[in-house]
Amino acid sequence: MNRCFRQLASLLTVPMLTGCVASVQLQVPETRRGDTVDDYHGTSIPDPYRWLETLDSDETKAWVAAQNAVSVPYLDQLPARGPFLERLLELRAVSSVGELRRQGGAWVTRRRKVDGGFELLIRNSLDESPTHRLDATTLGLSGDEKLDGYRLSPGAKYLGFAVSAGGSEFLEFRVLQLASAGRPHRLLHDRIPGLKFSTPYWTADGEHLVYWRYLNADPANRLEADRGGLVAVHRLGASPNDDRVLHRDEATEATGLSTWSELTADGRFVVLFFGAGNAVRLSVIDLGDPLRPDWGAPVVELMHAREGAHDLMGCRGGTLYFRTTRAAPLGRVVAVDIDRPTAWRTVIAEGEHLLQQALVVGDRIVAAYRRDVKAALVVFEPDGTEIREVPLPGIGSTFWLGGTPDAPDLVFGFDSFAVPPRLMHHDVDSGETRTLGTRQIPGFVAGDYVSRQVFYESKDGTRVPMFITSRSDIVLDGTTPSLLYGYGASGVVSDPIFRDDFFTWIEAGGIVAVANVRGGGEYGDAWYEAGRLEKKQNTYDDFIAAAEYLVAERFTSPRHLSILGYSNGGLLVGAVMTQRPELFAAAIPVVGVFDALRFPTTTAGPRWARSHGDPAIPEQFRWIYSWSPLHRIEDGACYPATLVLTAANDDLVHPSQSYKFAARLQTAQGCAHPAVLRVLESGGHEFWRWNQEANAEILAFAARHTGLTAAR
């Protein structure tokens, strides 16, 4: 090991509790209580901090500033913050292996540079030197702008790229004409504003872009829901105001659902998706000749009912391929012929393991399975006959999977909690596999770490998987500072992946445990369904049972256990810390949902309601109210040391969710454990992906309250 870490009591001069964990009483600002009371089906629910939902008011701004005036100095002086930040910055400076995409007949790699920025490398083949190197300067990005998605046009003449500003989820799409024959790169005047979660697709002629956006495309309207959608085509050189609308869906706007679209790689089909989660219906627009597209072609239904989740895999000729959970909760591959659009043919039947992703690669189909969450890749003939399983370096995750129908090249990324990312290539014709590159972590020695998968019983007897990773020399005596992470919503799988923040904690001598709780997609739709609506409490019970397992098996103890979650994972942390506060030393909910009664009225709430419930429905109100974190806080109870983090520009989960939860917790806290709110002035919903200062604060807070101190 190239570092020496030790467990010590905090260096702060504060009252000591049991063991090596200290607690400190902070003087948090007073929060005015309003008199707002809502009636939910005859039940009066006070909402005294409703005024914090008005983000731009002088009072809210002053309150946030006062909170940061307490939290920032407190976090700055945490003993482990400096060493953690130093290591995180060192890891960020290590170039990533990047993602590798085949676009426009070429290969595009996006990777992080050693200075923390990014670069895009464009090359004609996998083994050639790049023909273009692009970075933020080349693309003309300003200081607060970040690159999101990108697409190379056919013939590699243009690079289209999406940009976010100030951490907002809203994107603006721009176009760069690539240098050639002595002509320099040239940024075109084309701009497509108001996009969200989408990157436009180039048409086969390389002169048009097909895109979708929500019907509300105004970044200034922070409370407007993400719903509905329109699909349009933009011609290079034209004004976005003149873009032709191919389809506008106001029906899903009324229901709070969404519409989105994809264009097949050959440029022939625009596939339309309507719905959310595992209740999506499909339609298609057949543009005919991709080089002379028929923009007036009708919308043809592939499936009328909203049944299952569907992923476009690719197409060959007039046949579209989808991975679907329709009539197959674990997933299957189907083919849909355009001349018989409702006659779906099963190509790869549902098996005993989760089919998480599938692609048409050359003349083959590649299926990515999750076997008890662990990755497996299998190659099939177009008729569904299995050819081979792709060899993987070990137990882990295929974090990236790419390929197109016009080449036999499968590219994928592989990593695990204690295995740094590597980029790999598999030729689906020859069966040869090779490593293209591995991220080199300074001081990393593979044998110094151990990652194991365990299974534990939840409250109702359900068998739940969990990964536990630590240094191999850790003695498990019930005193190891531990970080328990979970998500458990929207069918998302918490894969075993390498994360700089997790690795930094593990390297310092702590344990990272990732619980694959219900509500996620680890075992397909059934696992998701078992953690939604009236069964949502199962998600929280699973997480609580994970903590109890770690304690019972002497990995850690309540005084050494912290919990961490982001977004829906923040909701998870908020729910369990208010239900079982004595089980945790520290709780860190990041950009979480806490007022579950109000969230369905804002931002992404209408889409979220299908998974968690709608308080406007009496029966569902009762479910939600029973676990809504804000409403489960009790005056005088002793809650874990809590760090609530959010970003002022979060337009996915409204920042007031965190504001209100922190205000209520600070008022109710019945012991000396701190409850602090940290609000980042810049950054959006996923600020933690790039902000290592914030990640250092998270780790240092957990270390401070579990007894882990990192020192060089």
User: Out of 208, 612, 685, 705, which one is annotated catalytic?
Assistant: 685
Residues 6 or more apart whose CB falls under 8 angstroms from that of 520 comprise 487, 488, 489, 490, 491, 492, 493, 494, 527, 528, 531
Compute the distance between CA of residue 409 and CA of residue 427 in angstroms, rounded to an integer.
Answer: 5
| Contact in structure between 682 and 690 (CB atoms under 8 Å) | no
Q: How many residues make up the chain in this entry?
A: 712
| Contact in structure between 531 and 518 (CB atoms under 8 Å) | yes
Residues 6 or more apart whose CB falls under 8 angstroms from that of 543 comprise 484, 486, 488, 515, 517, 563, 572, 576
Pairing of strands 511-515, 561-566: unpaired
Helix (H, G, I), strand (E, B) or coil at 283: strand
The b-or-e profile of 81-96 (16+ CB within 10 A means b, else e) is bbbbbebbeebbeeeb
Of 592, 661, 654, which is closest to residue 54 (Cα–Cα)? 654
Compute the distance between CA of residue 220 and CA of residue 305 in angstroms, rounded to an integer.
Answer: 34
| DSSP designation for 400 | E
Q: Compute how many other C-beta atoms are within 10 angstroms of the C-beta atom of residue 340.
A: 11
Compute the distance between CA of residue 412 and CA of residue 685 in angstroms, rounded to an integer.
Answer: 27
Q: How far is CA 676 from CA 627, 646, 673, in A?
A: 22, 11, 10
Identify the sign of the CA torsion 152, 157, 160, 161.
positive
Q: What are phi and psi of 317, to 5 degrees?
A: 65, -130
Judge whether 10 counts as a catalytic residue. no
CA 99 to chain centre: 16
Judge whether 71 counts as a catalytic residue. no
User: Out of 283, 567, 611, 628, which one is annotated catalytic?
Assistant: 567
In angstroms, what is the C-alpha Rg of the chain? 25
| DSSP designation for 651 | S
Compute the distance between CA of residue 329 and CA of residue 526 in angstroms, rounded to an integer.
Answer: 6
Active-site amino acid positions: 567, 685
